[in-house]
Amino acid sequence: MSTTTGSAPATRAPRAGGGIGQSVTDSLTIAKRNLLRMMRIPEMVIFGLIQPVMFVVLFSYVFGGSISIPGAGVDAGAYREFLMAGIFAQTVTFATAGAGAGIAEDMHKGLIDRFRSLPMARGAVLTGRTLADLVQTALTLVVLAVVATIVGWRAHEGVLKALAGFGLLLLLGYAFTWIGALIGLSVRTPEAATSGGLIWLFPLTFISIAFVPSENMPSFLQHVAEWNPFSATVLAARELFGNLPPGYQAPDAWPMQNPVLASLLWSALIIAFFRTLAVRKYRSAA
């Protein structure tokens, strides 16, 4: 009697179940994994808090008495309130570098390849990572608001509008983490991701109305600053916090006349565009 020996079937990568429920569950699982990692390495959070606190103190006391604000002139108190929305926005967008470095590190260690071999929803790894970064950014923003209150900043429009202002800031920060995710998937080392995540942020944040009014800039830079998505969120936060000087006149550009709507539109467009590119890159990254 002969025995027929069949060859073992080829091993295939498991498939995800699909659907919104699967995607949400997988994304939250990855987010939890990254949050636990942050808790086990507290210096990551501590060092992330030091830089924005230094910016608050340095800008408030070094430049506070030397920069003229439309409607208020050279006044340290007025500049401090004018400044804080810019510092808040800079802080949430600088989380981009951390997001890119974290994903690049996972790529370098081979974790991304392991995740792709699991039955997970497409994009859940990146969504979970960006959600964890959003939680860390929110924590940083809370600490920063406390420090800002100590140096004299106040929100004058009530709790609901203040929360709306912080919500717009966090939405912009979340949108920018998708840019960081794309950078992290596109480079070979975490160091390169950190550099790549910061090099374009400095011109973006400084060619804006975050630290000085656009009226103080050369005319060609005024247009760049006024259509900068960063500027729209900064001005929206200032309006919602009640931090605009009494005589302030917004520039004529549409985003400056409609900052809240412009901030929402810019953030939504950035998320849609860069999430699509990042997920596509994730599928083909090796």
Range of the domain at 35: 19-284
In this predicted model, which residue has the larger pLDDT, 277 or 54?
277
**pLDDT tens column, 214-255:** 887 888 899 999 999 999 999 999 999 999 877 778 888 999
Any domain includes 6 = no
Would you say residue 263 has pLDDT above 80?
yes
Q: Provide the token pair at 3.
A: 């025995």
Any domain includes 13 = no
Residue 130 · residue 178 · CB < 8 Å: yes
Any domain includes 12 = no
Q: In 160-265, at which residue ranges do the beta strands (DSSP E only) sit? A: none
What DSSP element (H or E) covers 73?
strand 73-74
Any domain includes 7 = no
Burial 247-281 (b: 16+ CB within 10 A, else e): ebebbebebbebbbebbbebbeebbeebbeebbeb
Q: Provide the token pair at 139.
A: 């924590």
Distances (CA, A) of 3 to 9, 102, 127, 156, 227: 18, 53, 51, 85, 76
Would you say residue 180 has pLDDT above 80?
yes
Q: Categorize the per-residue pLDDT at 18 as very low, low, confident or very high, splitting at 50, 70 and 90.
A: low
Distance between CA atoms of residues 62 and 197, nearest Å:
27
Any domain includes 14 = no
Residue 161 · residue 242 · CB < 8 Å: yes
Residue 31 · residue 128 · CB < 8 Å: yes
**pLDDT tens column, 100-121:** 888 888 777 777 777 777 777 7
**Residue 46: its pLDDT value, please?**
77
Number of structural domains in the chain: 1
Is the backbone of residue 189 left (phi > 0), alpha (psi -120 to 50) or beta? Answer: beta
Q: Cβ-count burial of 193 within 10 angstroms (0-12 exposed, 13-18 middle, 19+ buried)?
A: buried
Any domain includes 165 = yes
**Residue 215: its pLDDT value, please?**
82
Any domain includes 31 = yes
Any domain includes 46 = yes
Residues 6 or more apart whose CB falls under 8 angstroms from that of 89 comprise 169, 172, 205, 210, 230, 233, 234, 237
pTM: 0.84
